[in-house]
Structure formats: C-alpha cells, structure tokens
Structure 1
Amino acid sequence: MQNMREPSQKSTPELRSRAPKRQRGHDRVAVLLEAAAKVFCEKGYDAATMTEIAAEARSSIGSLYQFFPTKPLLAEALHVERLERLQGVLKELEGRMDDSSAADIGEAIFDRLGAFLDEFPEFVVLAGRRDIPKDRKARSRAELKTRIAAILARAKPPVTDEIALLSSIILELLRIAVAAATDPDALEDQQLIRELRLMLRKRLEEASIRC
C-alpha cells in the first residue's frame, strides 16, 4: 500500500523524480506541477503539503508520489521548469535588442523579469528555498549569466570589454529584486528596486562611454 505520509528527505536520499514515458504521463506531471505552483504560492513552501497539492491537482496522493516521492523533488522539478521559461524569455528578448544601448538593455531585462514574476509568482517562493541543490544552483546561475551576456553583446555602442562583469552585476541585481518581491507591498522594497534600476542604468551608461 502506498505510504500516505510525506516521505522524509533525509531517510530516503536516493529518491528521484520519475520521468513519464507516455504523453498521458507528461500531461499528468504538467497538472501536478501547476497544482504545486498554486499551493506553494498560496501557502508558502514550508507550509504546503503534498496532500494539498494532490487535492489541488484532483489527483490521488499515490499518483503524486509516483512521480515525485518528496516535496523537495517536486519543488525542484517546478523550479527547473520555471527557470527554463525564464531562459526562454531572455532568449526572446535577445532577438529584439539589436542596436539598443546597454542602459536600455538593462531596463528591458528588469521589465521582463517583472512581467515574468507577475505571471509566475511562485518563482519567488521556489527561489527562496533552503534545500536547492548546490550544483544545480551554480549551473542555473552560469546559464543565466551567459544568456544576459548574449543580450549585452547586442548593445550599441558595444560594451565588449566589460560584458562578463556587467552580466554578473545584472544577475546579482536580479537576484536581489526576486528576493525583494517576497514582500511586494513594502514601500522600502519598491524604493530599493527603483534605486537598483537607477544604479544599473548609470553603470551601463558609464560602460558604454568607456568602451
């Protein structure tokens, strides 16, 4: 009989998400992930339960555990899926930035991040987890930095000599912006984001002049 309790991550470190082999399985996983997104957003990661997620997906708890044996594995699968979407957003932005100034590119990246967070508010919850695998976190960071660098490479005048540094700065500011989004109603957070954007624009304008 399927264990109805949420498995302990520490007692079963070898557990992994099970990839579906048929379209029906892919569809089922998609429903489970969207249900998890809603529950994580409403309850928060720590308070959310697998039972609530299964109920939101109108699925049995056994079906949920079949694909995701633990809540951290479910959250990680959803986080990776959302990161892939973010990569797609940045790739699409890259195609529209020809001949834009570096400062305008920085503004555009921040604007698209804001739109992304509005569409996928659970991303903030997922990014704030304490159990994110370190290797995946480093890999995702490197991939996002590469994508940002590709966008900056379109800038006119070019900022070629400082692309690596500027990409790191933008990525760090984006991380701060995501963290600040945990409390979007706080006036201090809104002021912080505005100041960060002004600082970024000034830095990018200076880079354009120097290069």
Structure 2
Amino acid sequence: MRMTSQKSSEELKTRTPKRQRGHDRVVVLLEAAAKVFARKGYEAATMTEIAAEARSSIGSLYQFFPTKLLLAEALHVDRLERLEAVLRGMVERSAGISPADGGEAIFDALGAFIEEFPEFPVLATRRDIPKDRKARARAELKELIATVLRQAQPPIADDVDLMSGIVLELLRMVVAVANEPEAAEDRRVVSELRLMLRRRLEEAAAKT
C-alpha cells in the first residue's frame, strides 16, 4: 500500500511498520476501519469497534494509529490513490472519445469505485480533513480530469481549467449524495447531474 503522494503533517505521527508482518497488520486494521466507517459513519464509529472488526486488541490498533483521525486519514489517502489510479487508467484509454463521453466515463468510474469502496463517501465528507492534504488531492484529481478533456476529440483546451473544475464539483456532489442514505435512494439526483455534465461538455466542445 502506497501512502507517499498526499501525506500531511498529521499522517507523519502514525507508526510506520518496518517488517512485513507489521505491514500486513496495518492492511487488516485499515480494511476493518473501512467496514466500520461504511456501516456506522465516521462520527459514530469507535476505535473499539474497529479493533473488534479486525480481531485485534485495542492496544495494537493504537500502536499503529493513535487516533481515529489518523486512522481515517491513512485509509482516505489509500482510497484516493486507488481512485487516481482508476483515472490514470482512463487517461490511457480515453484518447479520441468526445468530451461528453469522457465526462460520462468519469462518472461511471466514480460510481463503480463507490460501489467497491462504500466507505469512500464517508471519508471524503469528513469535516476534519487536513486542509493541505485536501488541497493537494483536489489539484491532482482536477489535473487528471483535465488530461481526459484535453485529449478528447474535439479537445477542450480554452475552457479546460473551468470544465475540469465543474466536473470535479459534480463528482463531489455525487459523493455527497452517496453519503446521504435518503438522497442516495433517489437515483434521479445522480441522473440529473450526469445530464448536466453532458450538456455542459457538449457546449464547451461546440466552441472549438
């Protein structure tokens, strides 16, 4: 598991395992946290429940992650890196498609990602995310989206910064909807966001 590209000052306070057994233990703890966060939410989840889910002692959990914030941050960074890997793969596959199709592909990728990692919306909507790490993550995701739009046919060049920002904001809204049980049941919300994105990208492509 990589946790290098988006580390914050808070993350440096976690213990870094030096042996494979320690690395394996951290993976188990993170996956247990993912299940508990997805099931109970971030605020309601407790370190005791996470330790129990991992079949670990609370002391072992605190040994690697002294606070719930540090545990959530480590898990969030891991999930962000996985999402960025998905988008990098999309960059390689999306050359030549229309901007609107590229936007929908990004939407589809995020939907599949949330299904695979249901804890991601919980992590992404926390109020205690370190500002510096949040800004870096946003910049990295926005640049990956911009790359997809630049290599579309016709490419979006003049408005690429604006459009990539719009795509990112719509994706943020999808994540927020996924974190609200009542809103998540209304598929029309996501459908409307998808339609808005397609129309806006078609308008931008028509200007080229």
Match of residue 172 from structure 1? 169
Q: 1:62 aligns with which of 53, 59, 62?
A: 59
Q: Does the CA-based 8 Å contact 2:99-2:201 persist in structure 1?
A: yes
Alignment counterpart, residue 22 of structure 2, candidates 19, 22, 25: 25
Distance in 2, matches of 1:42 and 1:167, equals 32
Number of aligned positions between the proteins: 199
Whether 2:179 is the aligned partner of 1:182: answer yes
The corresponding residue for 1:6 is: none
Aligned to 2:37: 40
Candidates 200, 204, 207, aligned match of 1:207 = 204
Residues 128 and 150 (structure 1), Cα distance of their counterparts in 2 relative to 1, 3 Å cut: same
Q: 1:97 aligns with which of 85, 94, 107?
A: 94
Q: Report Cα offsets for 1:119-149 as digits up to 9, x if no partner.
A: 0000011112111111111111011001111
The AA in structure 2 aligned to 1:118 is E
Query: Structure 2: how far apart are the matches of 1:71 and 1:158?
Result: 44
- More displaced stretch, 192-201 vs 96-105: 192-201
RMSD: 1.7
The equivalent of 1:141 in structure 2 is 138
* Helix, strand or coil at the partner of 2:195: helix
Q: 1:15 touches 1:69 (CA, 8 Å); kept in 2?
A: no
Correspondence 1:73 to 2:70: yes
**Offset from partner CA, 1:37-95 (integer Å, 9 cap, x none):** 00111111111111111111111111111110000100010001000000001011111
- Corresponding residue for residue 117 of structure 1: 114
- TM-score (norm. length: structure 2): 0.91
AA matched with 2:21: R
Q: TM-score normalised to the size of structure 1? A: 0.90
Consecutive unaligned residues of structure 1, counting only runs of 5 or more, are 1-12
Kindly indicate whether residue 116 of structure 2 is the aligned counterpart of residue 126 of structure 1. Answer: no
Contact 1:41 1:122 in 2 (8 A): yes
Q: Separation in 2 of the partners of 1:186 and 1:54?
A: 31
